[in-house]
Amino acid sequence: MLTLGFAGRFSGNKLLLQNAMKTLKVPFIPGLESLGFKELDEKMEAGAAKSYIDTVCWPEEFPYAPDAAFSVARSESHIVIMYRVRGFDLRAAALEDNGPVWEDSCCEFFVGHPSDGTYYNFEMNCIGTVLAAKRKSRNDSTPFTKEDLSAIQRFSTLEKRAIEECGGIFSWMTAICIPFETIGISPDSLPEKLRANFYKCGDKTAHPHFLSWNPVRTETPDFHRPEFFGELLLI
């Protein structure tokens, strides 16, 4: 099981593609969805599972790999992910939800529905703008409505404004709290496990990059591949 702390990640080593599917235990922390950012950060630091988005899946064309760590936990009703990023460039052009956030400094969480063969993508740029949809594939999707998106809490250490910064090194944090009901799961009957993956990208930054938690084995960048999801164990 991967429950490493953040310190080991920032040594500069980048993971190569691995054969085994990654598995992560997601601990239970009550009341996460009711906390402000500072309190949420403290609770997640103390009790969440921690890992890294550091698999460089397409190193020949996109070798750059910023430091990207995440922590994940669940409450009675929500799954919560917190991202910590350090690297070149800072871009946030998408100010409205369901815009092209993947072009910005962006972190993503994709999770499969446990029984119906669909999956959900939650893509959030560095200022908290979210794109979310229920999908059968990249091209077959039902975007979240404004009402759906309003149920998703998001936090950022950055101000909600357009940003275009290059030539320096930037550090930022974001967090997203997703109701289980939003991904078609009753909080009263949670599955034992979920298939999921975590991504870091920045398609239109000065240093484009495409990183994943569980390796994606395709010839070109493609995160919409549930067959390469890892496994989250809800404990």
Asked whether residue 1 is assigned to any structural domain, the reply reads no
Number of domains observed in the structure of the chain: 1
**Average pLDDT over the chain, rounded to whole?**
92
The per-residue pLDDT for range 115-140, each reduced to its tens digit, is 999 999 999 999 999 999 999 999 99
The per-residue pLDDT for range 36-49, each reduced to its tens digit, is 999 999 999 999 99
Give the residue numbers spanning the domain of 113.
7-234
Asked whether residue 38 is assigned to any structural domain, the reply reads yes
Asked whether residue 2 is assigned to any structural domain, the reply reads no
Asked whether residue 181 is assigned to any structural domain, the reply reads yes
| Structure-token match 């460039």, residue found | 89
pTM of the model: 0.91
Asked whether residue 15 is assigned to any structural domain, the reply reads yes
* CB distance 185 to 191 below 8 Å: yes
Q: Which two tokens stand for residue 170?
A: 């930037």
Burial (Cβ within 10 Å: 0-12, 13-18, ≥19) of residue 140: exposed
Which CATH number do you get for residue 107? 2.60.40.1190
What is the C-alpha to C-alpha distance for residues 150 and 24, in angstroms, rounded to an integer?
A: 28
